[in-house]
C-alpha cells in the first residue's frame, strides 16, 4: 500500500553529533495506497472479510485533549459513517504513554482491539528500561496516520517576548527561571525540550504531566511557561490566542502557521523534531485481518472531513505501507536512543 507522501527520518545533529541522515520512508502513487489489501484472499482468516462486524476499540495511551486525540476522534467519527460501526476511543494515560501501550499489547488479536501510539513509543525503550512490552515485537505495524511538526508555544503572560530572538535572549539571560511542561518524561515533548536546550545552550526546567492535555491546560492557565508541543494539540489554542507560537521545528514554515518562523530561519538548522501518530494491532493479528484494517483506515484518510482536520493541524495523512511503517519505527527507535544518550535525559 505505497502512498503519495514520502517522509524522512528527522536528522538531529549539532550539539549531539551527527545522527542518521537516511530516508526511512519511500512512497509511490495514491492508487497503490488504496489497494494495499485488494484482491487478498481471506481464506486463512474468514473473519477479516466481514470486519468490522461489531464496535472496534482503539487504545489511545494519553488523556483526552492531547495530540493523539486530535487525530483519533476525527477518524472515529468517519469510521462510524463509513462502516456503520463505532470506533471507541479508550484513553489510558500514564508513564509517557507506556501504560496504554502495555494494555494494548495484551488485547485479543482479533482485529477489534487496536493501538494508536506516537513517536513517544519509539523513545520509550531508551527511557523505560523495564517495559513489559516491545513496540517492535509485540505489535503488528499497520499504518502511519499523521506527521506534524513540533512547535514551541508559550503563555504570553509569562513569556512576553515579541519574537524568537527576544525569547531566546530571555532564556539565556535568566537560566532556570522558565519551565516547560510535557506529556510526560520520555515523550517527544520532553526530548524536544532537551534537544533545544542542547542546541541553544540554555537551561529550562522540565515539568512532566500525565499527557499533553493536562500540560496544555496548565500552560493556558499560566502554571507553566512553555511547551515543545505537536502542532496537532496546540493549533486550536494558538488560533484562539490563548498561547503564542515562537518557532516551528524543521527547515520550512508550516502552512497552518505561515507567520511563524521555522528553526532553520533562526539559526537552528538541525532542530528537526516532529510528532507522528501510528496504528498498530496486537501481535498475532493475521495478515488478512491487518490488510483489511489498513484498507479501511486508508479510506478514512481520503474523506474530506478527515483531510480538513489534518490540514487544520498542519498534518498530512501517512501514506506508508505497513512494512515501511515498521521500518520507520525501527529507525526512530535507534535515532531517539542516540538523542537520549547525548542529552542525558532521565525519568522525573
| Same domain membership, residue 210 and residue 105 | no
Among the three residues 232, 266, 300, which one is the final residue of a domain in this structure? 266
- pLDDT value at position 12? 36
Query: Same structural domain for residues 190 and 144?
Result: no
**Same-domain status, 55 and 108:** yes
Do residues 40 and 143 both lie within one domain? yes
DSSP class per residue in 86-152? -EEEEE---GGGHHHHHHHHTS-SSSSEEEEEETHHHHHHHH-TT-SS-TTTSEEEEEEEEEEEEEE
Average pLDDT over residues 291-313: 94
Kindly report the length of the chain.
348
Predicted pLDDT at 41? 53
**Which residue carries 539565556 as its cell?**
172
Q: Could you give the number of structural domains in the chain?
A: 2
Mean pLDDT of the 65-79 span: 91
DSSP secondary-structure letter at 180? E
106/200 same-domain check: no
* Average pLDDT value over all residues in the chain: 86
Q: How far apart are CA 93 and CA 190, in angstroms?
A: 16
- Residue-wise pLDDT for 269-300, tens only, equals 989 888 899 999 999 999 999 999 999 999 99
- Could you tell me if residue 299 is inside a domain? yes
> pLDDT tens-digit profile of 87-145?
999 999 988 899 999 999 999 999 999 999 999 999 999 999 899 999 999 999 999 99
The residue out of 224, 245, 266 marking a domain boundary is 266
Longest dimension (CA), the chain: 67
Taken in order 21, 212, 318, 112, the sign of the CA dihedral is positive
Name the pTM for this structure: 0.76
Instruction: Give residue 233's pLDDT.
Output: 81
Judge whether 323 lies within some domain. Answer: yes
Note whether 135 and 37 are same-domain residues: yes
Does residue 98 sit within a domain? yes
pLDDT band at 1 (very low <50, low <70, confident <90, very high): very low
Task: Measure the CA angle with vertex 313, ends 309 and 317; round to 5°.
Answer: 65
- The predicted model gives 244-261 an average pLDDT of 93
Is 8 contained in some domain? no
38 pLDDT more than 70: no
Residue 14 pLDDT level (bands cut at 50, 70, 90): very low
Taking residues 160-179, report their average pLDDT: 97
Is residue 164 located within the same domain as residue 205?
yes
Judgement on whether residues 71 and 158 belong to the same structural domain of the protein: no
- Give domain status of residue 250, yes or no: yes
Q: Which pLDDT score is estimated for 140?
A: 98
**253-268 pLDDT tens trace:** 988 899 999 999 999 9
Residue 203 has pLDDT above 50, yes or no: yes
Query: How high is the pLDDT of residue 4?
Result: 33
Q: Which among 247, 266, 285 is the end of a domain?
A: 266
User: Is 26 found in the same domain as 141?
Assistant: yes
Here the CATH number for the domain that contains residue 165 is 3.40.190.10
Residue range 236-254: mean pLDDT, rounded: 94
Q: Are residues 117 and 92 in contact, defined by beta-carbon separation less than 8 angstroms? A: no
Residue 3 belongs to some domain of the structure? no
Residues 136 and 155 in one domain: no
Confidence at residue 43, expressed as pLDDT on a 0 to 100 scale: 66
Residue 9 resides in a domain: no
Residue 50 sits in a domain whose CATH number is 3.40.190.150
Q: Model confidence at 42, in pLDDT bands (50, 70, 90)?
A: low
| Residue 162 structural domain | 149-266
46 with 137, same domain: the answer is: yes
Residue 325's pLDDT band, with cuts at 50, 70 and 90, is: very high
Rounded to a whole number, what is the distance in angstroms from the first to the last CA of the chain? 40
Quick check: is 223 in a domain? yes
**Which pLDDT tens digit goes with each residue over 175-188?**
999 999 998 888 88
Q: Are residues 300 and 333 in the same domain?
A: yes
Amino acid at each position: 500500500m505505497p502512498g503519495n507522501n514520502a517522509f524522512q527520518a528527522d536528522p538531529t545533529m549539532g550539539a549531539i553529533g551527527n545522527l542518521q541522515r537516511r530516508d526511512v520512508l519511500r512512497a509511490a502513487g495514491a492508487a497503490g495506497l488504496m489497494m494495499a489489501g485488494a484482491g487478498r484472499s481471506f481464506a486463512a482468516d474468514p473473519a477479516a472479510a466481514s470486519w468490522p462486524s461489531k464496535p472496534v476499540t482503539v487504545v489511545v495511551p494519553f488523556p483526552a485533549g492531547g495530540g493523539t486525540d486530535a487525530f483519533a476522534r476525527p477518524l472515529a467519527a468517519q469510521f462510524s459513517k463509513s462502516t456503520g460501526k463505532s470506533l471507541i476511543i479508550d484513553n489510558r494515560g500514564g508513564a509517557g504513554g507506556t501504560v496504554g501501550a502495555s494494555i494494548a499489547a495484551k488485547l485479543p488479536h482479533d482485529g477489534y482491539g487496536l493501538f494508536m501510539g506516537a513517536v513517544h513509543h519509539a523513545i520509550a525503550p531508551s527511557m523505560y528500561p523495564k517495559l513489559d512490552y516491545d513496540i517492535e515485537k509485540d505489535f503488528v505495524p499497520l499504518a502511519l496516520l499523521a506527521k506534524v511538526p513540533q512547535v514551541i508555544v508559550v503563555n504570553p503572560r509569562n513569556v512576553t517576548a515579541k519574537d524568537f530572538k527576544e525569547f531566546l535572549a530571555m532564556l539565556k539571560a535568566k537560566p532556570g527561571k522558565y519551565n516547560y511542561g510535557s506529556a510526560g518524561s520520555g515523550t517527544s515533548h520532553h526530548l524536544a525540550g532537551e534537544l533545544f536546550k542542547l542546541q541553544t545552550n540554555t537551561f529550562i526546567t522540565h515539568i512532566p504531566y500525565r499527557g499533553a492535555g493536562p500540560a496544555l491546560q496548565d500552560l493556558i492557565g499560566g502554571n507553566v511557561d512553555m511547551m515543545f508541543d505537536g502542532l496537532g494539540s496546540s493549533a486550536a489554542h494558538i488560533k484562539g490566542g490563548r498561547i503564542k507560537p515562537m518557532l516551528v521545528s524543521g527547515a520550512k514554515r508550516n502552512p497552518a502557521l505561515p507567520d511563524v518562523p521555522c528553526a532553520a530561519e533562526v539559526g537552528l538548522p538541525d532542530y528537526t523534531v516532529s510528532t507522528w501518530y501510528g496504528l498498530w494491532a496486537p501481535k498475532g493479528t493475521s495478515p488478512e485481518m491487518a490488510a483489511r484494517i489498513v484498507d479501511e483506515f486508508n479510506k478514512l484518510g481520503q474523506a474530506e472531513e478527515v483531510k480538513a482536520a489534518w490540514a487544520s493541524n498542519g498534518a498530512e495523512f501517512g501514506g506508508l505501507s505497513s512494512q515501511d511503517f515498521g521500518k520507520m519505527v525501527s529507525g526512530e527507535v535507534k535515532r531517539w536512543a542516540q538523542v537520549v544518550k547525548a542529552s542525558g535525559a532521565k525519568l522525573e
